[in-house]
Amino acid sequence: MKNGIVSKHSGLPSFIYNKRLRRILVFISILMIYGLVVSFMYNFLVGLVLAIFSIIGLFFVIKRMSEISSDTNKYIKELAFKINRGEQEALLEMPMGIMIYNDDNLIEWVNPYLQKYFGKSDVLGRSIEETDDEFANLIAKYGDDEEFHQITWKNRTFTMLIQSEFNTIYMLDINKYSLLEKRYEQEQIAIGQIYLDNYDEITQTMNDQDISNLNNYVTNDLTTWSKKYGMYLKQIDADRFFLLAYANSLEKVEDDKFNILDIVREATSKQNFPLTLSMGISYGDFDLNKLANQAQANLDLALGRGGDQVVVKSLDGQTRFYGGKTNPMEKRTRVRARMISQAIDELMDESDQIFVEGHTRPDMDSIGACLGIRRIAKMNNKQCWIVLDKEKVHSDIQRLLEATKNYPEISESIITPEEALEKATNNSLLVMVDVSKPSITISEKLYSRLKERVVIIDHHRRGEEFPENPMLVYIEPYASSTCELITEMFEYQPHESEPINRLEATAMLTGIFIDTNSFSMRTGTRTFDAASYLRSAGADSTDMQRLMKENIDSYLQRNHLISMVEFFNGNMALIVGEDDQVYDSVTAAQACDSLLSMSGVDASFIITRRPDSAVVVSARSTGAVNVQIIMEQMGGGGHLSSGATQLKDTTVDQTKDLLLNTINEIQKNEQ
């Protein structure tokens, strides 16, 4: 301490070594000498008296400065002692664990706070690995990262900082705050909407007593289930319930895979009243209004996917699906078909022109639906443009396009996506058929241009990707095809207008025929009604066969793919095409369909490379396996018995591994 502390062997006053005090002394001395010189020049006696007083004053100044310097040194020493003692006491008493170790990982010192976590064993001089393996693993994991990390050790939560440069570890016990944070997360509010999917259809033929018994049974089951998990349930209508729960209760219900769906479905089926539930649950926000709106949106998504399932999603989280293992029950009525038909007529009447498009790589159902919408627009005296990329179509669609040359009005209505963008106005209407995902439509740019005026007609289960504010949505997952849905609308169109022609009827019936695999899958009474109407409207079976004919290359490719089939999981079949070989997606799908005719095969999958270099997975099922869930996990979608997805920047072998891992993970979670 250069400013006041001197050597014990120095004869000079200590303050001399203090620069500030030394300067003051020099200044006073100069003033005193100057004053004495002037005094002696003026009067010797006055100078002598002043000299005596100056010497006495200088003596007291030096003495006082020495006392100040001494006091300062004493204060500094005491302060240094207190600081050192405080540092030592802090290391020993502060509520933070500290460990010092050497380069050989031998513990040199720990403070008492950290010692208590090692028990009564002596840790000094022992290696960290020998003392505690778990602690050693944490040091090895975070030793090179000099940042704070939250860890769990000894069943407690700590904040750890490792200063490897000084071989020092700092541990702060934050278990209390971790428990508070966990409790906060567990007690977040979750809001749910529960809907009895087919309540109206079931109860319309029941007497009052049976309806009352059914209501009591379902309410009792739901109440028992909600109480089991500590949730609040309130019936707000005959077929609707309100659910309020904490996040930890929701977590337990999710772990149980919402088994209430199976309980209600199986129990009511035994009573010949098969009733199913759908739920929409949201969480993760303090705004109850936002939670309620999200819960309703989740319920709409569950119903759009066919019902009998639960959709759980936070406001900014990923959607989780439960249930949906059974084929959706038919709830469509003639009344709904009439209402949808009238609503579309009104929207068309308000529009200057109509655009209709399906999905990329369109099949016959997609093109047939486009032709059906064009005819409905024509019946309402509106111009309708079919948006199609003619360069990316399968052979059956090419044959259909060739046939349209005999119908100039239809042929001239088929335009490219670029032409559609040029023609579109703010008052145009876009109808999306056989698809509800904008990203896989023929022209996503056209959707972006007309996204405020969109109508969706589809028979696939609704996925997470969906237009934000469509003007009209007609999604019926239990319908065989989109052509079936549109065929039902013709009955409610103006009778004086020109009816559907032979080509349109043939194309739509072909779409139904292909999507139902020759009326063997997803076929109901309404399907045959639609087929009967189209047949009476002029659909020709000979033309259908001609449209569905395969060329020799497709036939050979399909047989080649089938020859590479392999079986797994007992009841599943898989075809993996060569990575350097391009296959037509329709040919691949046909090969996948063929596998279901084999004995013991409940689900079939095919993986092939597409002309645009993407890898496509097609999936089919007899209904025993929900292939839609599998495809959704891989980024696609579809039906319980039919689904597909496409992946980019990957190989067929990598896709195979992803598919098998996805199937195994889903089956593991269902156990």
End-to-end CA distance of the chain: 75
* Residue 419 included in any domain: yes
CATH code, 508: 3.90.1640.10
**Pair (65, 138) in one structural domain:** no
**Matching residue, tokens 């109508």:** 455
CATH code, 664: 3.10.310.30
CA distance 385 to 365: 17
pTM for the full model? 0.62
- Does residue 161 come out as left (phi exceeding 0), alpha (psi in the -120 to 50 range) or beta? beta
Average pLDDT over residues 193-212: 87
2: confidence class by pLDDT, cuts 50, 70, 90: very low
303: confidence class by pLDDT, cuts 50, 70, 90: confident
* H-assigned helices in 192-246: 199-203, 208-228
* Residue 250 included in any domain: yes
CATH code, 156: 3.30.450.20
CATH code, 297: 3.30.70.270
Residue 72, pLDDT > 80, answer no
Q: What is the pLDDT of residue 482?
A: 94
User: What's the pLDDT tens digit per position in 11-58?
Assistant: 566 666 667 777 777 777 787 787 778 877 777 777 787 788 878 877
* Residue 3 included in any domain: no
Average pLDDT over residues 412-418: 94
655: domain range? 552-670
* 636 contacts 602 by C-beta, under 8 angstroms: no
411: confidence class by pLDDT, cuts 50, 70, 90: very high
Which of helix, strand or coil describes residue 308?
Answer: coil
* 622 contacts 603 by C-beta, under 8 angstroms: yes
* Residue 7 included in any domain: no
Q: What is the pLDDT of residue 11?
A: 58
Q: Total structural domains in the chain?
A: 5
User: What's the pLDDT tens digit per position in 59-70?
Assistant: 887 777 777 777
**Pair (310, 370) in one structural domain:** no
User: What's the pLDDT tens digit per position in 232-267?
Assistant: 999 999 999 999 999 999 999 998 889 999 899 888
Residue 9, pLDDT > 50, answer no
6: confidence class by pLDDT, cuts 50, 70, 90: very low
**Pair (193, 173) in one structural domain:** no
Residue 7, pLDDT > 60, answer no
User: What's the pLDDT tens digit per position in 636-653?
Assistant: 877 777 888 888 889 999
Residue 470, pLDDT > 70, answer yes
In sign, the C-alpha dihedral spanning 277, 282, 287, 293 is negative
**Pair (576, 621) in one structural domain:** yes
User: What's the pLDDT tens digit per position in 27-36?
Assistant: 777 877 877 7
Residue 220, pLDDT > 60, answer yes
407: confidence class by pLDDT, cuts 50, 70, 90: very high
User: What's the pLDDT tens digit per position in 527-552?
Assistant: 999 999 999 998 988 888 888 877 78
* Residue 27 included in any domain: yes
User: What's the pLDDT tens digit per position in 96-144?
Assistant: 888 888 888 888 888 888 888 888 777 888 888 888 888 888 888 887 7
93: confidence class by pLDDT, cuts 50, 70, 90: low
User: Where is average pLDDT lowest: 107-111, 277-281, 500-504, 571-575?
Assistant: 107-111
**Pair (210, 159) in one structural domain:** no
* Residue 45 included in any domain: yes
* 592 contacts 604 by C-beta, under 8 angstroms: yes
User: Where is average pLDDT lowest: 19-23, 490-494, 524-528, 550-554?
Assistant: 19-23
Residue 328, pLDDT > 60, answer no
**Pair (531, 389) in one structural domain:** yes
CA distance 638 to 463: 9
**Pair (204, 146) in one structural domain:** no
Which of helix, strand or coil describes residue 306?
Answer: coil
Q: What is the pLDDT of residue 3?
A: 42
Q: What is the pLDDT of residue 192?
A: 95
* Residue 329 included in any domain: no
What is the chain's mean pLDDT, rounded? 85
Crossing angle, helix 44-93 and helix 19-42, to 10 degrees? Answer: 170
**Pair (479, 609) in one structural domain:** no
Residue 274, pLDDT > 60, answer yes
**Pair (543, 664) in one structural domain:** no
Class of residue 344 by CB neighbours under 10 A (exposed 0-12, middle 13-18, buried 19+)? buried
Domain end among 530, 548, 566:
548
**Pair (493, 374) in one structural domain:** yes
| Tally of CA atoms within 13 A in the half-sphere of 57 that contains its CB | 12
Q: What is the pLDDT of residue 91?
A: 60
Say how many C-beta atoms besides its own lie within 10 A of residue 563's C-beta: 9
Residue 171, pLDDT > 50, answer yes
Q: In this prediction, what percent of the chain has a pLDDT beyond 90? A: 35
Task: Print burial letters for 279-311: b (CB count within 10 Å at least 16), e (below 16).
Answer: bbbbbbbeeeeebeebbebbbbbbbbbbbbbbb
Contacts of 140 (CB under 8 A, 6+ apart): none
In terms of pLDDT, which residue wins out, 416 or 316? Answer: 416
**Pair (137, 243) in one structural domain:** no
556 membership: H or E segment, kind and range: helix 552-562
CA distance 155 to 157: 7
Q: What is the pLDDT of residue 15?
A: 64
Domain end among 144, 179, 214:
179
Domain end among 92, 116, 147:
92
468: confidence class by pLDDT, cuts 50, 70, 90: confident
Average pLDDT over residues 185-199: 90
* Residue 60 included in any domain: yes
Q: What is the pLDDT of residue 4?
A: 41
CA distance 618 to 20: 90
**Pair (315, 347) in one structural domain:** no
Tokens of 428: 């145009």
